[in-house]
Amino acid sequence: MTVSDPVVESVVATISRSATEIRQGLIGRRGTVDEENPSGETQAEADIWADELLGDRLAAIDGVGQYASEERTEIVDCGADPSAAESYAVAVDPLDGSSNLKSNNTMGTIFGVYDAALPARGETLVAAGFVLYGPITTMVIATDETVTEYELSGGERTVVDRDVTLPAEPVVYGFGGRVPDWPVDFREYAREIESELKLRYGGALIGDVNQVLTYGGTFGYPALESRPEGKLRLQFEGNPIGYVVEQAGGRSSDGTQSLLAVDPDALHDRTPVHVGNDDLIERLEATLA
């Protein structure tokens, strides 16, 4: 599958070609640096390196008006007017799950292509997806037409599934945050789910979400007692992942509404994130209500 819009296809092609290089470049970059990202988290050397690599390449694409990253405080003006026709903003989490570098576990790259100036509602996304650096490097791309999974090798994309949809019968779940920090209503919901589904939680959002796409089920990083706004970033994680799951036939929620309907106040806004099969998200919202 080729994305019909040439600018969006250039973004997707650039990320897919860069993925093999990013994966190889993780070697020797497993340490942290004495810096924090705008969310106050310690940065890995690989976070900064992957951000610079993707930022340079994506900003050079004609038709990309803005580049924003979880690793940067400010939006990068790429020259094109982000409000003009055929001009897009690209938001990236260059290395989701980089804390897994030390233990050599799964991580990925998340991206969203917005047809609006950032920060923007998820409803303005025209494409979103992720690269998963697992045993095999794969890429999932969602557009308004379909969700497609590829294997990546040597900069080339090979189609694995042209129409990714959540299985009707859910199998797995994964919930982030410390259990004592969960609000009482979410604990009630979690107790129900854990009696029905198998736990799959690896500490990298993208790996846990891919389990849900593959087997059906739900992933959540809820509002916490210590952090009611949630942990994950709306522009870089919540919106792109919500878009992928909704386009694959599932639902997303911040606990009350679709993630794609949330109005952002700032680039690095956090949000609770819940995605999965329709009935599981409906039950979540009913319990939290």
Three-state DSSP class for residue 257: coil
pTM of the model: 0.94
Beta strand pairing call for 107-114 and 88-96: antiparallel
Structure tokens at 236: 């870089």
Annotated binding site for Mg(2+): 70, 93, 95-96, 237
Query: What average pLDDT score do residues 115-133 get?
Result: 97
In CATH, which of 3.20.20.140, 3.40.190.80, 3.40.50.720, 3.30.465.10 is domain 172-288?
Answer: 3.40.190.80
d(C-alpha 273, C-alpha 236), whole Å: 12
Distance CA(13)–CA(3), nearest Å, equals 10
Q: What are the tens digits of pLDDT across the range 198-234?
A: 999 998 999 999 999 999 999 999 999 999 999 999 9
- pLDDT greater than 90 at residue 40: no
The arrangement of secondary structure in 6-161, i.e. its CATH architecture, is 2-Layer Sandwich (3.30)
CA distance 199 to 6: 40
| CB distance 141 to 3 below 8 Å | yes
Cis preceding linkage at 119, omega within 30: yes
List, as residue ranges, the binding site for substrate: 96-99, 201, 231
Per the annotation, where are the binding residues? Answer: 70, 93, 95-99, 201, 231, 237
Domain boundaries, the chain: 6-161, 172-288
Query: Per-residue pLDDT tens for 90-109?
Result: 999 999 988 888 888 899 99
- Of residues 239 and 36, which shows the higher confidence score? 239
Q: How confident is the model at residue 30 (pLDDT cuts 50, 70, 90)?
A: confident
